[in-house]
Chain A
Amino acid sequence: MEANKKFMVGLFVAGALLLFALGLFLIGNSTQLFTKSFEVKADFAKVTGLQVGSKVRVAGMDAGAITVIEVPASPSAKFRVHVRIVETMHPIVRQDSIATIQTDGLLGNKFLDVGAGTEGSPPAPKNALIPSKEPFDLGDLMDQMSETVKNVNLLMAGVKDEVITALANISDVAHSANRLIKTSTPQVRAIMESSNRIAANIREISDGVRDGRGAVGALFNDPQLAEDVKKTIHDAGATVQTIRETSDRARSIITKVDDSDIVPQVRKTVQNMEQITLQVKAAVEKFQSASGEGGVAENLQRALADAHEAMSDLSDDTEALKHNFLFRGYFKQRGFFDLASINLPDYKAGKFAKGFQRYPTWIEAADLFEKDPKGVEVISASGKQKLDAAMAEVMRLPRNGPLIVEGYSAEGEASQQYLDARRRAVRVQAYITDRFHLRPAYVGTVVMGAVKAQGGAQFLDGIKIVSYYKK
């Protein structure tokens, strides 16, 4: 055989063996077999398919392989996994690096991820036992979920009766509350009406202020004031921030609540709820039973009436504010009628709203009002219909002038007459303002008190709605 052939054979065999070695090296390299390395250990209750030779990643980088998996001697003991990690990764493998078993992709092979430790922790020495986190297994999650569902089912069965009782209680409470609300509706509505007016007033004022009119507007142009306002706003911001932090903390506390405690707590909460509803029920019953003279209901109604009064006062106050010197210029410019400061003699003399057409509508008090059980005059259902009909006529006119509600009363002494007339006017004003969404600034009241009808001896008893308009 000539030398040439021997050379070819040598080339063939050596070349193929070289490729074989290259293949071995590439495979070995992927498990870092030929690199200087160190070993650490980690304990797991479950290895979930991790095998000897499985990849190890440190902070996501391929860094070695599993060398040994020690099977525990007893069920309560854990698997001890020996991990070979390349020396170059040693600086970031600290004593507090956490080992977790993870899956490469959704369906890939299992590998062990060793997290980078913290700066403060010393590097893990060779053969150190590093902390581990038990693997998250989809199967486990399913198990837990089914367990939870089972618990919830049991709980539901357990608390069903309690819930039914609680619901019955709640229903009772709702009934009671409904009744209560029905009786107090007029007051609440009155309060709401007042609130509406207040809101409208405030809006007008703030509109004016924003436009820089009046003294307050001027004040806002003052740099010092602006600074103060800014500071106040900043403080408000800080407060909001504090609140937010607090709520964040609250949320994190909620998040930290141990899962296992929730189920008993829910049970406890439901029990508490039942107790509370029972208490509420008892309270409502007590409340109802005591709703006779001087009872809780009386107190509540009185409180509502007071609130109404207070609202009315506030309404008046804001009304007054409009006429305050600080804002007067603004309202004058806007062509507002100073409805609050109408003086009776001038009004009677027809000095109010000169150049406007008058459209008066008279409604008798008997048609309009009724006495509630407490003897207070309120607008009756038929009265409301009358008012609605009257207003329907009024609304046809051009809405470019003020609307004045004149209150008349003939009963009692002069002071009683004044108060009744005023109340009547205010009631009607409130009703129509609310019902027809009128701007409160355009609806005024004039307390006429006891006035004799023209050419008659009878005192007028009712209200007159006078609509001023321009054609």
Chain B
Amino acid sequence: MAGAESLTGFAHFLVGIVINEDPKSKLASDGSPLLERIIGSVRGSIEWFGGLSLLGAQVIRECFRRPFEFGEVIRQVFEIGWRSTPLIILSGLAVGIVLSMHTRATLERFGAAAMIPTALAFALVKETGPLITGLLISGRVGAGIGAELGGMRVTEQIDALESLAVNSFKYLVFTRVVACALCLPLLTIIMDFSGMLGGFIAEAIISGSTLRLYFSQAFGSLAFADFIPATLKTVVFGLIIGGTSSFLGYNATGGAAGVGRAATQSVVFSSVLLILMNVILVKFIAFLFPVAGG
């Protein structure tokens, strides 16, 4: 497949943080002039995006075609959602405690210690919660999907599925992308709340705030336009994580090494794409909900 090469091109061109791991890559070995290499990189990047976009389009198309693979989607929600919950809760608590301590240090200087729950809620709900959830899941789930599908590809399990008259794309890719898109907002909500709970724990130890006061203060100055779009934007994060890692795993080549590469690149590319997409989404949300407080 052209995936690996174009992928490397993409890496060189756009991100520049992934070292070239493909021994077959012409870019690494041949002494072609710089210009050609750059053109090759650009071309590779565009091809890679093309492939990913086609995958996205196919996922959308599959949404309207039988079978809907509900059972497999639920199984993936279990794998991606339920099994990530402990990680998310733990990280959320830690992030909440740390954020609370930092905001306290800053706000106390201005005598605004009463603003801590509000500041924490804003930070968590609007940006930190969705982004950290996205990055954690791209690490845990992205690598998992990349490795699993890559493994299935190189051991012919995907071909085997096809031979059993199963639409492997739908069965493997579609279900994972959908499950990711479903789970990310749910995990983000859990992250938001566990972060707030962590902040409350830190606050309760220092200032003895009550849970009820803390949460009503925290949510008091938030508007629906702060909470809902920021949470729902993680659907896009889910699509990116599921799509990118499925794409890389599903199209993996080169045996065990290829599987490893697919896993690593799933994390790297889904994280980078997620962060870049976040910039666009924040702007887009600000455009759609200009009233959102803060």
Residues of A whose CB lies within 8 Å of any CB of B are 1, 5-6, 8-9, 11-13, 15-17, 19-20, 22-24, 26-31, 51-53, 62, 109
B60 CB → nearest A CB, Å? 23
Identify which of B9-17, B145-153, B184-192, B245-253 touches chain A: B184-192
From A12, A24, A28, A29, contact of B186 by CB (8 A) = A12
| A23 touching B192 in the complex, CB below 8 Å, given contacts A12-B85, A12-B186, A13-B81 | yes
Option from B81, B216, B219 in Cβ contact (under 8 Å) with A9: B81
Can you list, as one digit per residue, whether each of B51-81 has a CB less than 8 Å from chain A (1) or not (0)? 0000000000000000000010011011001
Contact residues in B for A12 (Cβ distance below 8 Å): 77-78, 81-82, 85, 186
- 3 A-B pairs with the lowest CB-CB distances in the bound complex, closest first: A16-B186, A26-B219, A30-B220
Q: Given the complex, which residues of A lie within 8 Å of B189, measured CB to CB?
A: 16-17, 19-20, 23
Q: In the complex, what residues of B have CB within 8 A of residue A17's CB?
A: 186, 189
Say whether, besides A12-B82, A19-B189, A19-B190, A27 and B75 are in contact (CB < 8 Å): no
30 A-B pairs whose Cβ atoms sit less than 8 Å apart in the complex: A1-B71, A1-B75, A5-B75, A9-B82, A12-B85, A12-B186, A13-B77, A13-B81, A13-B182, A16-B186, A16-B189, A17-B189, A19-B190, A19-B192, A19-B193, A20-B189, A23-B189, A23-B219, A26-B218, A26-B220, A27-B226, A29-B216, A29-B219, A30-B216, A30-B222, A31-B223, A53-B223, A62-B220, A109-B221, A109-B293
Name the residue on B nearest A104 (C-beta).
Answer: B221
Q: Which residue of A lies closest to B194 (CB)?
A: A19
Structural contact, B193 and A23, CB atoms closer than 8 A: yes
CB pair B186–A1 under 8 Å, yes or no, is no
Q: Are B85 and A27 in contact (CB under 8 A)?
A: no
Cα distance A53–B223 in the bound complex, in angstroms: 8
* Most chain B C-beta atoms within 10 Å of own C-beta, residue among A11, A20, A31, A62: A20
Please determine whether A16 and B190 come into contact, CB atoms closer than 8 angstroms. yes
By a CB distance below 8 angstroms, the chain A residues around B81 are 9, 12-13, 16
B278 on the A face (CB < 8 A): no
Interface size class of B (residues with CB under 8 A): 20 to 34
Hey, what's the 0/1 contact readout for B247-273 against A, CB within 8 Å counting as 1?
000000000000000000000000000
What is the minimal beta-carbon distance from B48 to any residue of chain A, in angstroms?
33
Interface residues of B (CB under 8 A from A): 71, 74-75, 77-78, 81-82, 85, 125, 182, 185-187, 189-190, 192-193, 215-216, 218-224, 226-228, 231, 291, 293
B interface secondary structure, majority: helix
Q: Which residues of B contact A1 (CB under 8 A)?
A: 71, 74-75, 78
Contact between B216 and A26, CB atoms less than 8 A apart? yes
Interface centre among A12, A19, A52, A109 (most CB of B within 10 A): A12
- Write the chain B residue with the least CB distance to A22: B193
- Of all chain A residues, which has the CB nearest B112? A105
A23 vs B196: C-alpha distance in the bound complex, in angstroms?
11
Name B228's closest neighbour in chain A (CB-CB): A24
Q: Which of B82, B192, B226 counts the most A-chain CB atoms under 10 A from its CB?
A: B82
**In the complex, which of the residues B82, B187, B227 contacts A27, with contact meaning CB atoms closer than 8 Å?**
B227
Cα(A52)–Cα(B193), bound, Å: 27
Using A12-B186, A24-B227 as known contacts, list a sample of 17 further A-B pairs with CB atoms less than 8 Å apart, ordered by residue number in A. Answer: A1-B74, A5-B74, A8-B78, A9-B74, A9-B78, A11-B82, A13-B77, A15-B190, A23-B219, A26-B215, A26-B218, A26-B219, A27-B219, A27-B226, A27-B227, A30-B222, A53-B291
Residues of A within 8 A of B215 (CB): 26
Q: How far is the CA of A51 from the CA of B231 in the complex (A)?
A: 23
Contacts of A24 in B (CB 8 A): 224, 227-228
Chain B residues near A29 (CB, 8 Å)?
216, 219
Complex contact B78–A5 (CB within 8 A): yes
What residues of A have a CB within 8 angstroms of the CB of B182 in the complex? Answer: 13
Interface centre among B81, B182, B189 (most CB of A within 10 A): B189
> Are A8 and B82 CB-contacts (below 8 A) given A20-B231, A26-B215, A52-B291?
yes
Whole-angstrom distance between the Cβ of B169 and the nearest chain A Cβ? 21
Q: Which residues of A contact B218 (CB under 8 A)?
A: 26
Complex interface: chain A residues within 8 A of B125 (CB): 23
Q: How far is the CB of A89 from chain B (nearest CB, A)?
A: 17
Q: Which residue of A lies closest to B294 (CB)?
A: A109
Residue of A nearest to B192 (CB): A23
The CA of A313 and the CA of B270, in the complex, are separated in Å by: 112
Q: In the complex, what residues of A have CB within 8 A of residue B223's CB?
A: 27, 31, 53
> Cα distance A84–B221 when bound, in Å?
17
A32 vs chain B, min Cβ distance (A): 11
